[in-house]
Structure 1
């Protein structure tokens, strides 16, 4: 009996000293979902850019410019006498509209009252935020934004759906210096 007791205790000691092992997942993901999403997004961007290039190619009356930020634009009204463009913190007043690439109104400029925006300090979709920085006071510019520079995958949850490229005509009405710059100049 003592022998069984000693063997039992020895066995318990040997197996109880073992450190716990991590359990392995039943199935292992290889990141295929991420790879599929990246590939899908590349395809969407390529299709949208091809549509925009087709619009540019068929419109021989305007000179389109390509921005370093991934969108295209042309000037409806250009000011060659002013040099100042908005900088970080400047407050701009502007008017704009949003259309589909086919030219169908989504939001007219009447629906979007002239609005003010502190450059890079408030929410605004990335293409418009970057486009405003290219403009001078009094200019009107038409931008062609692929969806990733507009409202992207989520849309605006109202009239703009998922992955919708946009055309926007923007008029920069006024540029005011950043409030801090005005206070420094007054001191």
Structure 2
């Protein structure tokens, strides 16, 4: 038993000593090599997620259309519409779902009189709201890079999770 414990302890101490760190220490700076590795990882992940989302779309009865910002929406020509200007107020709400169509939070996220250019929101949500009409509802299919990315939301959403967002302009 002592021999097994000793071997386990030695193997734990020796494993991954030279493995690159994913994030710098507090106050640290990533090297150019680390930045390149991260960029390549996100590029590969985005390619994989786009393929998975396309596969998911083919099994749906609703038609989804790609946008220039790299997400899909239920309205054709969506990001060709007139774009709302910065400082324009908008009220909105949205629900988040995973691709099993399970609702992630019980209550929708809601904001009243938010102003474009001053959002603290997901990139895809802010971008979509710029093209929505008042009272309109759309569904967005969003890769993780435009959702909560590498870190998740540190609550219910893990890292690298693409989302379905049901968005309403109130």
Q: In angstroms, what is the RMSD of aligned CA positions?
A: 2.2
Aligned to 1:88: 86
Counterpart CA distance in 1 for 2:48 and 2:70 is 14
Where 2:53 maps in the other structure, the secondary structure is helix
**1:23 aligns to what?**
none
Give the match for residue 100 of structure 1. 98
**Structure 1 residue aligned with 2:43:** 42
Q: Secondary structure at the residue paired with 2:50?
A: helix
Deviation of 1:85 after TM superposition, in Å, equals 5.5
Tell me the equivalent position of 1:129: 126
Give per-residue Cα distances to partners, 1:10-65, cap 9 Å, x unaligned.
Answer: xxxxxxxxxxxxxxxxxxxx954333322221221111111110111111x22211
Partners of 1:67 and 1:130 in 2: CA distance: 10
User: Match of 2:128, SS?
Assistant: helix
SS in 2 for 1:133: helix
Structure 1 residue ranges without an equivalent (≥5): 1-29, 174-187
List aligned pairs for 1:41-60, cutoff 5 A.
41-59=42-60
State the SS of the aligned residue for 2:166: strand
CA–CA distance in structure 2, aligned partners of residues 161 and 101 of structure 1? 13
Q: Is the 8 A contact 1:84 1:136 kept in 2?
A: no
- Give 2:162's aligned residue: 165
Q: Give a deviation string over 1:92-142, Cα, whole Å, max 9, x none.
A: 11121001122111124xx13531221121211111110111210111000
Tell me which structure has the larger Cα radius of gyration: 1
Partner of 1:138: 135
4+ residue segments displaced more than 6 Å: none
Q: What is the total number of aligned residue pairs between the two structures?
A: 135
Q: Distance in 2 between matches of 1:74 and 1:41?
A: 25
Would you say the 8 A contact 2:42–2:145 is kept in 1?
A: no
Structure 1 length normalisation: TM-score?
0.65
The TM-score, its normalising length taken from structure 2, stands at 0.71
Task: Give the CA deviation at 1:84.
Answer: 6.7
Match of 1:73 in 2: 73
Unaligned runs of 5+ in 2: 1-30
